[in-house]
Chain A
Amino acid sequence: MTYIKVTVKQVGNKHKREFRLGPHATIADLLKELGHNRETIVVRCNGKIVVEEERLADGDLIEILPIVTGG
């Protein structure tokens, strides 16, 4: 397989988006593509909170939860 496909859901937003990434892509790579700063979010992969250095697998559901709410 030359790429993997993951589904991304931002908590609080109904829409899901699909992304194609390289076979060795990590969550950190995906966040970079989406323009998210890791300091401001928590990531769930298939329902589990994981570290951004985890490698993605084909079919993963990634949920992004923004945690910075103050000014």
Chain B
Amino acid sequence: MLKCTFCGRRAAYNRRYAGVLLCDRCLIKSVEKRFRRAIAKYKLLLPGERIAVAVSGGKDSVVAMHLLVEHCKLKNCELVAITIDEGIKGYRDQSMAIVRENAKSLGIEHFVVSFKRIFGATLDQMARRARARKTELNPCTYCGVMRRSLLNQAARELEADKLVTAHNLDDEVQAIMLNYVRADFSRLHRLGPAYSPREGFVPRIKPLREIPEKEVALYALLRGLKVHLAVCPYVGGIHTEIRDFLNQLEANHPNSKFMILRMFDRLKPQLAGIVPEFEMRRCKSCGEPTSAIICKSCELLKGLGLRRLRKTLNSPKSR
């Protein structure tokens, strides 16, 4: 039996990048400490703030919600949960039940915003339209753009000071690599533990950014949290290739993911000089903030022969 480096109990995790073995209790303590450390180091949350957390029901967002509850009690913050229901049959309906259960057990107000209600079509319907119209865009493009836009709008309408997303170390490193591959300076420059505040946007923060995906999963399993572990049916493409490449790299060379993150964090201030500043305007069609004449969501909807049905969300509370 292999033992925990710190307390001698049976080890549950080999943190190879640090050269230590951790038991269930020490891993749970370590994840909680890293979460608190990220908040303190980057000043992500301030006492008394109203915080919205984006929760899909997956392990990352459920863990974020549970960690935030503890933090909010200590710092006198108010917490609300937002779920975007994209309308993915057999996937989102299952995870939605898990979010409701978690929010109820934690006593958090939970708001749901659905693609169908706002855009008049579910993601499944958009995917079918995209195929029929040969737009050559995959469902993740529609989902990513529209989900981000609705999350921001919901957080703003709920008067949140911050919007927490549950991106973990793996998500962040994958985004860094994807933007390198696409030479997308603008998106690369926006990555980091917190997005700088801009008019119309609720500042987005990522307190799980320095916790590897496997440690987040272990935290959820070891604490017995109810999480949705199914794979989205639309997952694929370059994102998956980059994820698999990084996981192979980490398996062969532990600490690679942290090194990529540290390197990016050191380079980021230098990017400011080469990324053009853009003026924020209001989308002519829906009024949401954008750098163009119409926002990306409205542009994508137009390409599918759809249009936004509602300007305000008036997100219904989950029951």
Interface size class of A (residues with CB under 8 A): 20 to 34
- Distance A70 CA – B169 CA, assembled complex (angstroms): 13
User: Across the two chains, which residue of chain B brings its CB closest to A36?
Assistant: B251
The CA of A65 and the CA of B12, in the complex, are separated in Å by: 14
Q: Could you say which of B222, B237, B248, B251 has the most chain A C-beta atoms within 10 Å of its C-beta? A: B251
Binds B, one of A2-10, A17-25, A45-53: A45-53
The yes or no answer to B125 lying at the interface (CB within 8 A) is: no
Given contacts A42-B217, A69-B58, A70-B58, contact A49 B222 (CB under 8 A): yes
Greatest chain A CB density within 10 A among B58, B229, B232, B236 is at B229
Is B221 positioned at the interface, with any CB of A under 8 Å from its CB? yes
Contacts of A34 in B (CB 8 A): none
B142 to chain A, nearest CB (A): 13
- Given A67-B59, A71-B243, the answer on whether A38 and B231 have CB atoms closer than 8 Å is no
Do A69 and B59 form a contact, CB below 8 Å, given A49-B221, A54-B1? yes
In the complex, the answer to whether A67 meets B11 with C-beta atoms within 8 Å is no
B78 touches A (CB below 8 Å): no
Which A residues are CB-close (under 8 A) to B171?
A: 70
Which of A12, A40, A51 contacts B11, CB < 8 Å? Answer: A51
Asked if B247 is at the interface (CB within 8 A of a chain A CB), the reply is yes
Q: Is the CB of B232 within 8 A of A70?
A: yes
Contacts of A69 on B, CB cut-off 8 Å?
58-59, 228-232, 235
B residues 213-235 near A (Cβ < 8 Å) are 213-214, 217-218, 221-222, 228-232, 234-235
B71 sits at the interface (CB 8 A): no
* CB proximity of B291 to chain A, nearest CB, Å: 25
Q: Which of A39, A49, A65 contacts B251 (CB 8 A)?
A: A39
Q: A42-B218, A71-B140 are in contact. Are A37 and B10 (CB under 8 A)?
A: no
Residue B312 CB within 8 A of the other chain: no
* Residues in B neighbouring A70, C-beta threshold 8 A: 58, 171, 232, 235, 239, 243
A37-B251, A67-B213, A71-B240 as given contacts; A52 in contact with B58, CB under 8 Å: no
Q: Cβ of B239: which chain A residues have Cβ within 8 Å of it?
A: 70-71
- B234 — which chain A residues lie within 8 A by C-beta? 71
- Specify which of B12, B214, B232, B235 is in contact with A67 (CB 8 Å cutoff): B214
Given A51-B2, A69-B230, A71-B237 in contact, is the A39-B21 Cβ separation under 8 Å? no
B2 touches A54 (CB 8 A): yes
Question: Is A68 among interface residues, defined by CB-CB distance under 8 A?
Answer: yes
Which B residue's beta carbon lies closest to that of A48?
B10
- Separation of A12 and B228 alpha carbons in the complex (Å): 12
* Among candidates A12, A38, A39, A65, residue contacting B221 with C-beta atoms closer than 8 Å: A65
Knowing A39-B250, A65-B229 touch, does A71 contact B11 (C-beta < 8 A)?
no
Task: Verify A53–B222 contact, CB threshold 8 A.
Answer: no
The answer to the question of B14 belonging to the interface, with a C-beta cut-off of 8 Å to chain A, is yes
Residue of B at shortest CB range from A49? B12
Kindly list the 4 A-B residue pairs having the minimum CB-CB distance in the complex, ordered from nearest: A67-B217, A71-B239, A39-B247, A71-B235
Given contact pairs A49-B222, A51-B12, A69-B58, a sample of 19 additional A-B residue pairs in the complex whose CB atoms are under 8 Å apart: A12-B229, A37-B247, A40-B214, A42-B214, A42-B217, A49-B13, A50-B2, A51-B2, A53-B2, A54-B2, A65-B221, A68-B213, A70-B58, A70-B235, A70-B239, A70-B243, A71-B140, A71-B232, A71-B234
- 16 A/B residue pairs, CB under 8 Å, sorted by A: A37-B247, A39-B250, A39-B251, A42-B217, A49-B221, A50-B10, A50-B11, A66-B231, A68-B170, A68-B247, A69-B228, A69-B229, A69-B231, A70-B171, A70-B243, A71-B237
